[in-house]
Amino acid sequence: MFVKITTSGSRQYVKLVEAFRDEAGVSRQRVVATLGRLEAVQAGGSNSLVNGLLRAAGKPTLDEGTGETTFAPARSVGDTWLLTALWKELGFADAFRRVLRNRRSFDAERLLRVMVFNRLCDPESKRGILRWLEGALVPEVPAESVTHQHLLRTMDTLMDCADALEATLATLLRPLLDQELSIVFYDLTTIRAEGSTEMSEELRRFG
C-alpha cells in the first residue's frame, strides 16, 4: 500500500491506496481509506493514525523522534560581532563615514569594515572575501551588497582620502596611546607575494 494525493476541484485529498492484480492479472489500484484533506493532514489531523502504524512497526512515534541529530549549515558571527562592537566603540564607523560619504554611490565605510574584518579573521584576496562572506556574517552588512567591483572602488576611494583617513585615525587612537607620541610606524606587508617570472633584484621569487 502507499499514500496518494488526489485533486478534486480546488481541494486535495490524501488517500491510502492498495495496488493489486485482478483476475485477469491486470495491475489495478483501489482506495483503502481517505485520510482527509491535504491541509488537515499537514496540520497533524492524521498523526494518531501515523503513530499507531509506527508503534505497530516497532518504530519511534512522531513525538518520540528518531533520536538522530541533524546539523544545518551556519555562518560564523562571533568574531565579526566582537569586531563590530570594537569598531563602533573606537568611533571608526561614524568618523570614517564622514570622511568617505558622498564619494561613491555605495557605503564605502561598510565595505572598508568588511575588508578589515576579513584581514583580521581569515585573510583573503578581494575575490576571496566574497567566498569568506558565504560562511561569515558581518553585522549590518548584507553579503549580497558586497561585490568585487565595489571592493575595488572602495580601495580607490581610500587612496583619494588617504590623508584625511590617516588624520582621523590618529585622532581616534592617540588618546589610547602615549600622549608624547611623535611618530607612528605601521606595517603594510602583504599576506603573500608571488612572482611568475625571474627578475634581477626582485624581492618576489618564481612560484
Please give the share of the chain, as a percent, with pLDDT higher than 90.
26
As a whole number of angstroms, the distance between CA 185 and CA 21 comes to 88
| The pLDDT of residue 63 | 78
| The pLDDT of residue 92 | 92
Q: Which of 11-15, 77-81, 176-180 has the lowest mean pLDDT?
A: 176-180
Segment 96-114 mean pLDDT: 84
Indicate the domain borders of the chain. Answer: 2-64, 78-176
151-193: pLDDT as tens digits: 999 999 888 888 998 899 888 888 887 667 777 777 766 666 6
**Is residue 207 scored above 60 in pLDDT?**
no
As a whole number of angstroms, the distance between CA 121 and CA 88 comes to 18
117-156: pLDDT as tens digits: 999 998 888 999 999 999 999 999 988 889 999 999 999 9
Give exposure, 148-182, as e/b (b: 16+ Cβ within 10 Å): eebbebbeebbeebeeebeebbeeeeeeeeeeeee
With cut-offs at 50, 70 and 90, classify the pLDDT of residue 68: confident
Q: Which of 104, 116, 102 is nearest to 154 (CA)?
A: 104
| The pLDDT of residue 117 | 95
Which triple of cell numbers denotes residue 159? Answer: 587612496
Cα-trace Rg, the chain: 31
